[in-house]
Amino acid sequence: MRLKIYVIFLLVICALAPMCTKKAQKDYPIKPVAFTEVQINDAFWLPRMETNRKVTIPFAFKKSEETGRIDNFAKAGGLMPGKFEGLRYNDSDVFKIMEGAAYSLNLHKDPELETYMDELIAKIAAAQEDDGYLYTTRTIGPENPAPGAGKERWSNLGSSHELYNVGHMYEAAVAYYLATGKRNFLNVAIKNADFITSVFGPEKRHGYPGHQEIEIGLVKLYRVTGDEKYLELARFFLDERGQKEFEKKFSDSSRFSVYNQAWYLQAHKPVVEQSKAVGHSVRATYMYSGMADVAALTGDAGYINAIDRIWENVVSKKIYITGGIGSRHEGEAFGDDYELPNATAYNETCAAIGNVFWNHRLFLLHGDARYIDVLERTLYNGLISGISLSGDRFFYPNPLESDGKYKFNQGEITRKPWFDCACCPVNMARFLPSFPGYVYAYQDEILYINLFAQSSGTIKMNKHLVNVTQQTQYPWDGSVKITIDPEQSAKFSVYVRIPGWARNEPVPSDLYSFLNQSKEEPILKVNSKTQALNMDKGFARILRRWEKGDEIELNFPMPVRRVLAHENVKDNLGKVALQRGPLVYCLEGVDNEGQALNQHIPDDMSFKVEFFPVLLGGITVITSEEQKEAGGIVAIPYYAWSHREIGEMAVWLPRK
């Protein structure tokens, strides 16, 4: 009897005292299934990933050689003579291609590429100074580094990109380590991060990077090394923002100018007090992603509340129907609420990629499909529009309208092979091979199916090992057949995302709506039996004992839908856009007798759709029933525009 009481006493104490059990590691409650566990074999993503591997990555390395980006490392390392070439943040471009190459090596062994990487890593290691500092422009010419670098180390953190560059190096080094098991690059990254940790901190030097990125990189470094000082440094850099009096005088709606740098780089308030998306949109999304990471790993609710508020602001007032964000050229920045012009839309490709990073992390925190709805919209529209089908031409801004002549900054109306500031092409190079990592996730007894792409994967849930295959022609066709093959029969829930667009909700806000409610409901069958949609946070929940070969069939009707914008979006008053499935469509001059801007889409226009397997890599074209002479139109997916000739393009067109 006494023993029994003693045992109960011990159990109670153990339940209360974490030291009795292994300290539970805080992290995202939902775990993504790594891209290495999912093999895509579809006609939409696989060709893009293959083009990235065969064309984009070698092309970007070649451009980096031609423009001195790679020689800068050799010069800094004393391996060759010469001056620094290019812009102060050019090191980061090389790191981003290397990250993409590492992901690509994971999916496809390539000894030649690995040798190339090792040689490049040797140059980077040579370029690293003895104490760990790495920033080629200063090492090559300490007396006269590139404009913006600052006279001395860390003296111009707001624009030097010293910390931004190495953040990308950490991501690349971790990726290469995970792909090959080699520590050569990781050691360079650790030496650098250890040095930066010795310089910055609460009792050391204060400051923060003008361009966020190192926060994400430090968290990745923490994940592979387990060294908490990297996580603490990420948090320190975030918390340093917006602490000084001069930073706080800028309101949420300030316009960018040299006088309000703080607003431009999200330091106008402490990060936990921010409520609106402001300033440079790529910096912003990287910061929100870094905040999500640190919050997941530390349990900081203040960070989560802030990014939740900011997300509401973006999704209800600042996102384009293409998923693009950052409407202003000036400062590459978010506009005011509802400031969403079409022809001058900036929508940097990097911001679309950052938007995917951020929304994915919010899903992992909250388990709500609305984040995947935003992610999918961005992915299929404003993100892949940034790269040509050939893989070697790129958009920096992604406008929703073009007269074929408009030029602004690098906003030319056709994709270009490269840019002096090449952030977008190299971001694409690292993003595309990671696509399979967005398809599945799991948590305890839930398996999430977030995206639809023909593929097979092995998902190691905590207690179950499950093979999952998808057969589908998505995004052209809404039928998806999913086989759930658990290693052993087991009871758990499969959460299948029912996309917002299939539930009459183009975005999870009132910023956009469909003109007509579709009465065609999504259909869900399990082993050929129709099931009611048991919805939970945007997912259809299927709880059962799963047996080998169990089959889920989905059918998402894909009628052509008309989208309206909120009446406060002045540029879209009286206009309509077309969407089918997850894809937003546009009219291009080449299909419409040279003219897209003067076309109309009256409410009584009816449409037919046809799949063309060869056109633009295979696309479904929307055509009006009316002939062209009678005001008819031809529309193609937005992402596919600007491949045939330079000319007019429009997403939004007048209803009358």
Kindly list the catalytic residues.
Answer: 332, 423
Is residue 87 a contact residue for Zn ion (CB under 5 A)?
Answer: no
| CB-based contact 170:214 (threshold 8 Å) | yes
| CB-based contact 494:531 (threshold 8 Å) | no
Nearest partner of 140 among 132, 131, 150, 129, judged by Cα:
129
| CB-based contact 177:185 (threshold 8 Å) | yes
Q: Which is nearer to Zn ion, 416 or 628 (CB)?
A: 416
Q: How many residues bind Zn ion (CB under 5 A)?
A: 4
- Segment contacting Zn ion (CB under 5 A): 46-54, 292-300, 418-426, 580-588? 418-426
What is the footprint of Zn ion within residues 318-377 (CB under 5 A)?
348, 350
Phi, psi of 256 (to 5 degrees): -70, 135
Least spacing, CB of residue 136 vs Zn ion, in Å = 20
Least spacing, CB of residue 78 vs Zn ion, in Å = 32
Least spacing, CB of residue 60 vs Zn ion, in Å = 13
Going by the DSSP 8-state scheme, the letter that residue 327 receives in this structure is -
Coil vs helix vs strand at 251: coil
Least spacing, CB of residue 428 vs Zn ion, in Å = 9
The Cα–Cα gap between 318 and 345 comes to 11
Residue 644 neighbours by CB distance under 10 Å = 14
**Sole binder of Zn ion in the list 234, 423, 426, 554 (CB under 5 A):** 423
Q: Which is nearer to Zn ion, 99 or 348 (CB)?
A: 348
User: What is the three-state SS of 336-390?
Assistant: CCCCCCCCCCCCCHHHHHHHHHHHHHHHHHHCCHHHHHHHHHHHHHHHHHHECCC
C-alpha distances (whole Å) from 315 to each of 161, 337, 439, 579 are 29, 10, 22, 18
The Cα–Cα gap between 322 and 383 comes to 8
Q: Which residue sits closest to Zn ion, CB atoms considered?
A: 350
Query: How many residues in total does the chain contain?
Result: 656
Residue 78 neighbours by CB distance under 10 Å = 11
Coil vs helix vs strand at 495: strand
Is residue 424 a contact residue for Zn ion (CB under 5 A)?
Answer: yes
Task: List residues near Zn ion by CB under 5 A.
Answer: 348, 350, 423-424
